[in-house]
Amino acid sequence: MSRFVTVPSGDYKVKVQSGGEIKLDTGVGVGNTRVTGNLIVEGTQTQVTSNELTVKDNIIEVNSGENGVGVTLNQAGIRVDRGSLVDVQMLFDEQLQWNDPDSQTTRSGAFTFVDVNGALLGLRTNSISTGGALYFQPGGSGSLRIIKSTYETYVTDDNDIPNKKYVDTEIVNQINSLAPVFIGHSDTEVRVADSTGGANPVSQITMSVDGVVKAKMNGNSFEMYNTTVDIGQIRIEDNIISNTVSNGDLKLEAPGTGAVKVTDSFVIKQTPGTLDPATDPAVDTDGVKLYSKVPAGGDTGLYYVNTNDAYGEMISKNRSMVLSMVL
């Protein structure tokens, strides 16, 4: 039989001794206790021991009644009891700072997933949607890393995000696929070819200027064509080696006990010449200077000037025999 308590005017209050308990008993696991108005709990703790809690409100407010600027206790959120394992929390933390991509200013307060000891937790989902750009801000020396074995092999769509391994592999593959590889602009270039894999007959570097091949280098030789090369004070032009400094010496030296050897005929052009207009060259204090001009009494045309400033012609064998018989 139902019972009703009606108070036509005024309030209705049930009071027990201080520290006592008021219990509405509808049976174990059955029945309902219904409040048609608002339920206000003024204690310091509200405990719900039911197995399932259903809330019709679309927004649940925590840290209600806050009067400070932000959360006075710095953090507010929801905690999950994990039994013998460390409890975890979803918190709004006033102390966390982040960069606002729209205003490019630093703002305070962000959501974080941590356990009760402050250790960060993972978040699993299959989609993140933003109202604009998506910014990642790794802390300290951290980086944005994808943890998946052979992830680079799954980067197949134009919108897939590549990792470093994918980029490194792609660069190597692209370089290896170029046959030959070259650096150039218009008809001037340096072209590299490698014989590995049989794509090219020989490994070679070719340099062209204005469409004309100027040099080739491979594992056995370095060839230059129709060009002048200056190395320090040495100039190489076609089959001529000269000094770039006017009136400078061109030296051939063999270190230690070595010698400068000529394995073919040796030609000394007659003076005066284009590069040496003097008929008789000046003395050289370093040693004997040999030169060539029109043959005279010695019948050789090979002349010398020594450090004593003495000039003379080297005499041939036949001329020396004739002179010895005359004398």
193-207 residue pLDDT tens: 888 756 667 889 999
- Mean pLDDT, residues 59-87 taken together: 93
Question: Given this model, what pLDDT does residue 77 score?
Answer: 95
pLDDT of residue 181 exceeding 80: no
CB 93 within 8 A of CB 74: yes
- Of the candidates 97, 116, 115, which has an alpha carbon nearest to the alpha carbon of residue 107? 97
Give the pLDDT confidence of 82-92 residue by residue, as tens digits.
Answer: 999 999 999 99
Question: Given this model, what pLDDT does residue 197 score?
Answer: 59
- CA 227 to CA 13: how far, in whole Å? 112
- CA 90 to CA 111: how far, in whole Å? 7
Give the pLDDT confidence of 265-278 residue by residue, as tens digits.
Answer: 989 888 887 767 77
Question: Given this model, what pLDDT does residue 102 score?
Answer: 82
* Helix ranges (DSSP H) in 99-233: 164-177
- CA 134 to CA 132: how far, in whole Å? 7
Give the pLDDT confidence of 221-231 residue by residue, as tens digits.
Answer: 998 888 888 98
Amino acid at 89: Q
- Mean pLDDT, residues 299-319 taken together: 92
Considering only the C-alpha atoms of the chain, give the largest distance between any 2 of them, rounded to a whole number of Å. Answer: 171
Give the pLDDT confidence of 233-258 residue by residue, as tens digits.
Answer: 999 888 889 999 988 888 999 999 99
Give the pLDDT confidence of 98-124 residue by residue, as tens digits.
Answer: 888 888 899 999 999 999 999 999 999
Give the pLDDT confidence of 12-65 residue by residue, as tens digits.
Answer: 898 999 989 989 888 888 888 888 888 888 888 888 877 788 888 899 899 988
Could you state, in order of their start, the residue ranges of all structural domains in the chain? Answer: 75-115, 158-218, 267-327
Question: Given this model, what pLDDT does residue 137 score?
Answer: 84
Give the pLDDT confidence of 118-170 residue by residue, as tens digits.
Answer: 999 999 999 999 888 888 888 888 898 888 899 999 999 999 999 999 999 99
- Of the candidates 315, 321, 280, which has an alpha carbon nearest to the alpha carbon of residue 297? 315
Question: Given this model, what pLDDT does residue 45 score?
Answer: 81
Question: Given this model, what pLDDT does residue 127 score?
Answer: 92
Question: Given this model, what pLDDT does residue 248 score?
Answer: 87
pLDDT of residue 179 exceeding 70: no
